[in-house]
Structure 1
Amino acid sequence: MEKEIELIRNSEFIVSSIREYINNGMFFDIFEIADMKDIFKSNKLSAENFVALLKDGMKRVSTSKLYRYFRNITSSITNIQDAIIILKAMKKCLKLKVLNDIIKLIEQNYNTNNDFEKRINNLEESVQKLREENEDLKRISHSNDFLKSYLSQYKKSKDFDLIYKFFENLSEKGNQIVMKKSCKEKISEKKNNNGDTVVRVAIEKGNLNLVKSLIECGCNKSSKNKYGSDLLIIASYNGKLDIVKYLISIGFDKETKNKLGYTPLTCAANHGHLDVIKYLVSIGADYNVKDHKDKLTPLMWAAFSGHLEIVKYLASLGADIEAKDSKGNSPLTWATIRRHFELVKYLVLEAHVETNQPNLRGKTPLDYALKYETNDDCSKEIVRILVESRFK
């Protein structure tokens, strides 16, 4: 029993277990005022426990007795906030109005110091940021000097294949910084023997990623080749549907024309790219447009080049299958001259076009069939179909 009492009265144990005493409402039942001096002779309560004990005492003992209890209790105040918490608790307990002004003054000074501390911290952060930005600028300056030296070899080079490969590698690696710098230095505007720039060759090759990278990094997207064809016409001419769609999405005109009056749809029809034609038609492209010089429509160009499926598709849309060019030649005339047997067969036997209509020279499709007739079966069949059509 004596050991238990000794343990209870052990000051270090008491202070470390103060919360348990408070929560169980035991402190003021177990300990007397006289015990305080011994317990807190070499031990201090935290501010939080000091306030908790004070609040518990307000419920259990009189104010005068509480004062005597706390006369010898000390607290380890580590900051202004601890001091304010204890003063507020004491003000509430002892009802001393003078503490109001003291607490207010301390809080004002604390807030002022906090503001100064924040400003100092902000200034220190700003200084650090400036230092970092300065280092970044030094690195960028060094990088720019290196990049300028690196790009100079391509700027001076006349090897277009080397330059194209350079841009192709940049695109594959996603190196937008060097790509932008290269476009700014006009390296992307270098031309091959045909007068084509990097972006035009990328379109011909069907390299959509490179086309996108070049345009996004500032190459001349308004450039035209020697025929006045812009990027969209070149993409349509080469049947690069994904590039056609991309160029349309960034604002290229579906009705753009080159020097000869060829539109994207005209070029696609002439070169047999049905998928491109269908897409252009779906976004409202004119499929009856005529070029400047010969006045051929897309359907006539398809007939000229022997693209049967394109002729059928355009005819199904309502394209004029009897249209005449500047010399009075019809799609049938061109199909006959170019000896496209399947096309002649379709136009005469399925589309039932006029077979005896002469052009401005007074020549009919049959006249041309006889003029260009050879010993091959194709020529003979064309003549036969045209001759028989006269008697139907």
Structure 2
Amino acid sequence: MDFGFSVEDDAFRAEARAWLAEHTRAEQDRRTWEHTLGKAGWIGLGWPESGYGNRSAGLTRQVVWAEEYARSGAPPRSGHIGENLLAPTLLAHGTQEQKARFLPPIAAGDELWCQGYSEPNAGSDLAGVRTAAVREGACYRVTGQKIWTSLAHEADWCFVLARTETGSRRHHGLSFLLVPMDQPGRIEVRPIRQMTGTSEFNEVFFDGARARAEHLVGGEGEGWKVAMSLLGFERGVSTLAQQIGFAQELGRVVRAAAETGALADPVVRERLVRQWAELRVMRWNALRTLGSSGDAGAPSVAKLLWAGWHQRLGELAMLVRGAEAAVGPAPWAAAEPYRLDALQHLFLFSRADTLYGGSDQVQRTIIAERVLGLPREPKGVV
């Protein structure tokens, strides 16, 4: 793909950069920031349809916005799950009524979403979900547990993959339901404290939670197809923005190496250059595959590339810091909260990179089976 930016794209970049510089304030809470973005029409640029309060933009301008956002130091997004995962899924599989009900609040930053996929015994093996949804008149009653649910403690809604056919197995009998989170006594959210001291992941327990029948997406029993379609939207333009963040982290590691004197070590220098070169290759690969609908293995290849790269960067960050990397910031007192600096957070959080979003093993299986045409992996083999 010949991917380039036009003069109009450059003008759009200047507009986006100026707006972000004017409106980004560190003290804003994340929900207020979503409203700010929505009011200016910056949510939903990648949606193929406009008219929901969003401004639609072509692929190059989506890349421009994502890159400028990453460079600006703007707050982390709380609405990206609704904007980048649920909205494209509704545009592909939802009814007109579902689009009219849910897309405008996402575009306005009024309603935040979380993803109810993984379970304690069905993480990478998504077809093993046990959460059940039983039809009772105009509603479904949802019972079960989800885990590693990002931002569930902030979300207004959750899209849930649940089993609606009693006795069904694997990918059969699953349905995709939109469930309101404000159901006291029926939904409980328990934050999961991580090594980093933060708790953006959660356990979510559904005890007879209600989902309206008209909020079933794609038809009963079609949940696997809808869920797999959604996962296809999970990687794309956002990968390029992620790489801007990676470049900023790499810059911090290089500066730390210079400050500690580790840069004098030729082995360290070689590793830093390798990290830089691999990041450039990832960008070119992302641009090459962006907008391509025929490469079934492209998302899996991208995930394998960046997950391993990011883990190695975290390890390198600790190496260049030396023994100091194992010590928290001074002065330290028992009464103070658990704190990490940026490079310590990078190292600890990146331990999970090869697991969440589909483990490395799962990505390799997808490439082997769907791209290379190798025999399917036997089920039940450890």
State the TM-score, normalizing by the size of structure 1: 0.21
The structure richer in helix per residue is: 1
Higher alpha-carbon Rg: 1
Q: Which has the higher contact order (CA 8 A, sep 6+)?
A: 2
The structure richer in strand per residue is: 2
